[in-house]
Amino acid sequence: MHQKHILLIDGMALLFRSFFATAISNQFMINRHGNPTNAIQGFLRHSLTAIEQVQPTHVTVCWDMGQQTFRNEVYEQYKANRQAAPVELIPQFDLVKEISAHFSFANIGVSGYEADDCIGTIAQMADEETKVSIVSGDKDLLQLINDHVEIWLVKKGYGEYSRFTHSRFLDEYGITPSQFIDVKGLMGDTSDGYPGVRGIGEKTAFKLIRDHHSIDGIIENLHLLTPSQQKKIEADLEMLHLSRKLAAIHCEVPLPENIYNEWSGVPAAVNEIIDHHELKTVRRFLGSYSSFMGSQT
């Protein structure tokens, strides 16, 4: 019997990446119904390429469900610096879920939580006999790594990944994945809109956590830090704790009962959906990978 192997796909990360890869040259791939499909087609190519390399037994795509989450209740400026989605992308948000369901992907999204939280919850629920591979472009997910959970960070193009196992993470960063949350708390995240400790950058944050193991350890040994570091941390102590809370992936999301679908290939019936939405790039892609075609239902 094959080992159970769950592939978790960060749907929104791949959708946005796919949209902007072609939108820069105004290739929105508008079909005869007037719907742009560039993000959807890129998302499907990314997902199917990952499936080809990971060879999972089950596939789930996790989605954000709107901009407001519990983090906005904690800190109202969370992701407030994000621009509104381009008008050509907006109609693809719902359509991509509909189409991905036809490809036998389970779609998971819970209001009030981010896709990262759903991914983290599913990954933590998996027993030690189950392998979990997570595909995303978001380094925040590195905190989820353990002996049976690995992260595949998408690089430029299709099929190129920076694959992080537990051993690689330890060797490369010199901290544990859970300590990565404290690093993020210190350095903040400009893309997510929380500052951490002003004046503490990535290099210093990693060194402080390597030396003192945690934010609590740093605060307990504040007298050992340089005067400049002491001053910065004391000035932003409240924001430091808040930033750490925002950086941590919430792994107790109330998920629906069915959280992943068994993967046995792309159903042949998907050709009808491809034709209806004129997903020409996807059709060509599938045509070159006959191994994708599984169930005939």
Query: Is residue 292 predicted with pLDDT exceeding 80?
Result: no
Each residue of 202-236: pLDDT tens digit? Answer: 999 999 999 999 999 999 999 999 999 999 999 99
CB contact at 8 A, 62 and 43 = no
Taking residue 127's Cβ as centre, other Cβ atoms within 10 Å add up to 7
What whole-number distance in Å separates Cα of residue 126 and Cα of residue 4? 10
81-85, 109-113, 128-132, 246-250: least confident range:
81-85
pLDDT digits (tens, 9 = 90+) for 154-186: 998 888 999 999 999 999 999 999 999 999 999
> What are the structural domains, with CATH classification, of the chain?
5-169+250-292 (3.40.50.1010), 173-247 (1.10.150.20)
Give me the chain's average pLDDT, please. 94
Q: Residue 1 above 80 pLDDT?
A: no
The CA R_g of the chain, rounded to the nearest whole Å, is 21
Q: What is the reported pLDDT for 296?
A: 41
pLDDT band at 67 (very low <50, low <70, confident <90, very high): confident
Q: pLDDT class for 45, splitting at 50, 70, 90?
A: very high
- Determine the Cα–Cα distance for residues 112 and 124; give it in Å rounded to an integer: 19
pTM for the whole structure: 0.94
Q: Determine the pLDDT at residue 152.
A: 98
Helices (H), 145-193: 166-173, 179-187
Q: What is the largest CA-CA distance in the chain?
A: 68
pLDDT, tens only, 239-271: 999 999 999 999 999 999 999 999 999 999 999
Cα dihedral 101/253/135/291 (nearest 10):
-30
The rounded distance, in Å, linking the Cα atoms of 162 and 153 is 5
Residue 188 CB partners (closer than 8 Å, separation 6+): 194, 195, 196, 197, 243
What is the per-residue DSSP string for 229-279? HHHHHHHTHHHHHHHHHHHSPP------S---EE---B-TTHHHHHHHTT-
- Distance CA(46)–CA(136), nearest Å, equals 10
| Residue type present at position 67 | Q
**Can you give the length of the chain in residues?**
297
The 8-class DSSP code of residue 162 comes to E
Please list the residues that pair with 60 across neighbouring strands. 8, 106
